[in-house]
Structure 1
């Protein structure tokens, strides 16, 4: 087995970054002013000239170096390096008591039902008056 490393497949890196950005080939093609077939051909290419790579990087919102140095392992390392405290810091704790809000909504619903019942009673009363005349 050879100890020499294979050159990075730039097209595959572009494809992975595009997918991580939740971008379709058509969207990237439109940003580059080209066709989806051209983007597909680029993603199947092992090498890309620096000028085209810079255009693609700009369309993807990353640097050309990020595309050249991309690896799935590095992404997994970044994700796994975030500990639970960072994730928990994102959780927002309400500044109100949720049970109070539930009670408030229930009371509001009761008032609306009472108004609806009163409106129906008024309608029935009005129709009875019309019927008696």
Structure 2
């Protein structure tokens, strides 16, 4: 009987999408970093298997390690983000590049959701005007 590792239970493409969202990146921005189109990024986010080289490129573009991407889950994101913030610097691509966070993890999350809310308000107003 096969056991499921819950850390890896989520589709790898979905993990890429979630990390991209946490980084506040659009598909277009990730595509620019990878040298591909927005549509190609969308296809990546629908794919579950990647060769090692491609996965390294994607992880690097997202500023995470391959291992971190493979084992990504929401629970550990907050733990790792909090620890990284408390330690001031974090290796973002596994090669030793350090970046200092200027905002707490909670501020980043709030900022992300405020942007999403603003986009939805704009969309709502646009649809409302069309109906009038």
**What TM-score do the two structures reach when normalised by structure 1?**
0.53
Q: Are 1:5 and 2:4 counterparts?
A: yes
1:24-70 superposed Cα distances (whole Å, 9 cap, x missing partner): 00000011011111111111111111111101111111111111010
Structure 1 residue aligned with 2:31: 29
Structure 2 residue aligned with 1:56: 58
Pairwise CA distance, 1:77: 4.1
Q: Which runs of 5+ in 2 are unaligned?
A: 84-102, 104-132
1:80-119 superposed Cα distances (whole Å, 9 cap, x missing partner): 88xxxxxxxx9xxxxxxxxxxxxxxxxxxxxxxxxxxxxx
The 2-side partners of 1:37 and 1:24 are apart by 12
Candidates 9, 18, 23, aligned match of 1:16: 18
Q: Which runs of 5+ in 1 are unaligned?
A: 82-89, 91-133
Change (3 A) 1:78 1:67: closer
**Structure with the higher strand share, 1 or 2:** 2
Q: Secondary structure of the equivalent of 1:47?
A: coil
The 1-side partners of 2:37 and 2:81 are apart by 33
**Structure with the higher helix share, 1 or 2:** 1
Count of residue correspondences = 82
The 2-side partners of 1:78 and 1:63 are apart by 13
**What TM-score do the two structures reach when normalised by structure 2?**
0.54
- Flag the structure with larger Rg: 1
**RMSD of Structure 2 on Structure 1 (CA):** 2.6
